[in-house]
Amino acid sequence: MTDDTGVWGTADVSSGKGASDENFPVGSLLLSKALRPHVHAYYAYARVIDDIADSETLTPDEKVARLDAMEQVLHGTRQPIERADAQSAARLRTSLLQTGVPFETATDLLIAFRDDSRGHQYQSWDDLLQYCRYSANPVGRYLIGLHRETDNAFAASDALCTSLQILNHMQDCAGDLERLKRCYIPSDMMRQAGTGQDDLRASRTSPAMRRVFNTMLDRVDGLNQQANALVPHIRDRRFRMECAAIVSLAHRLTLRLRREDPLAGRVALRRTDAMHAAIAALRAWC
């Protein structure tokens, strides 16, 4: 076991993002009070590794080294130093050992964030789905495991998490390209529509890029339809309400991205969307 601190640098890495930047509630009051500290530990770890990958000051090699160190702390093979990022991995390790949730729900995230750190290019829809398999789907599987639900919920949960991740990429496509030099819009879709990354730097969506967005949203609609099957698989009533609300939000955000322009300004959920989600949650109580 090593306690060297060189890999961590001299400061915590933070993007300034928080739960309010997500499309779904984190540690919602709908979840059991007893489980919320574990959800918060998982979210804190996920936020740290996301911030590392999104850092504008670290080099790609430094990012990967720090992500590797986080994984070693998680597995107990590296001593965590007194830093918020390292301690988040230590706290999640304790939580996973207490709850019995598989460590893969945490380590799989690192696969995606290493790709982000290296500047991986997404050539096709399948490339993007593969990324979401590691960047998003483990979150749903973590919550399913934490609530001791069955594996039967995995397929619908994966569809929901992938949908939410892709919707988030579409919301942030201009900012990701400008700030991080990162593009999650599949290049083959843009090429087939006669457009490219330069059009993502415009102040409004071109007709060609709108075709790309609509094609992506058509496929997201398919994912949302698969996600509809999640709620009946969930036995815990409070978690079932949470899932119903999030499925509703995925449908609502998909609709907003069809009607609004993500290049003209961030397309975000509104109060009326929250009301629809609340109604869906109440229906799931039964």
Q: What is the pLDDT of residues 56-108, one digit of tens each?
A: 999 999 999 999 999 999 999 998 877 778 899 999 999 999 999 999 999 99
- Provide the pLDDT for residue 21: 53
Q: How confident is the model at residue 1 (pLDDT cuts 50, 70, 90)?
A: very low
- Provide the pLDDT for residue 31: 87
Amino acid making up residue 190: M
**% of the chain exceeding 70 in pLDDT:** 90
Instruction: Name which of 283, 278, 162, 277 is nearest 227 in CA terms.
Output: 162
Length of the chain: 286
Mean pLDDT across the chain = 91
Q: What is the mean pLDDT of residues 264-272?
A: 94
* Contact present, 113 and 53 (Cβ < 8 Å): yes
Determine the Cα–Cα distance for residues 121 and 100; give it in Å rounded to an integer: 35
pLDDT digits (tens, 9 = 90+) for 154-184: 999 999 999 999 999 999 999 999 999 999 9
* Gyration radius of the chain over CA positions: 19
pLDDT digits (tens, 9 = 90+) for 231-260: 999 999 999 999 999 999 999 999 999 999
256 φ/ψ angles, rounded to the nearest 5 degrees: -65, -40
Would you say residue 4 has pLDDT above 70? Answer: no
- Provide the pLDDT for residue 175: 93
Q: Where in the chain is the domain with CATH 1.10.600.10?
A: 121-286
Determine the Cα–Cα distance for residues 150 and 146; give it in Å rounded to an integer: 11
- Provide the pLDDT for residue 80: 80
* Contact present, 74 and 89 (Cβ < 8 Å): yes
78 φ/ψ angles, rounded to the nearest 5 degrees: -135, 135
Q: What pTM, to 2 d.p., does this model score?
A: 0.91
Q: What is the mean pLDDT of residues 108-136?
A: 96
Q: What is the mean pLDDT of residues 147-154?
A: 97
Would you say residue 262 has pLDDT above 70? Answer: yes
Under CATH, which number does the domain 121-286 receive? 1.10.600.10
Report H helices in 36-78.
36-54, 60-75
Burial class (CB in 10 A: 0-12, 13-18, 19+), 270: exposed
Task: Please list, in sequence order, all residues whose beta carbon lies within 8 angstroms of the beta carbon of residue 86, skipping any fewer than 6 positions away.
Answer: 8, 69, 70, 73, 80
* Contact present, 72 and 118 (Cβ < 8 Å): no
* Contact present, 164 and 246 (Cβ < 8 Å): yes
- Provide the pLDDT for residue 24: 56
Instruction: Name which of 45, 98, 101 is nearest 74 in CA terms.
Output: 45
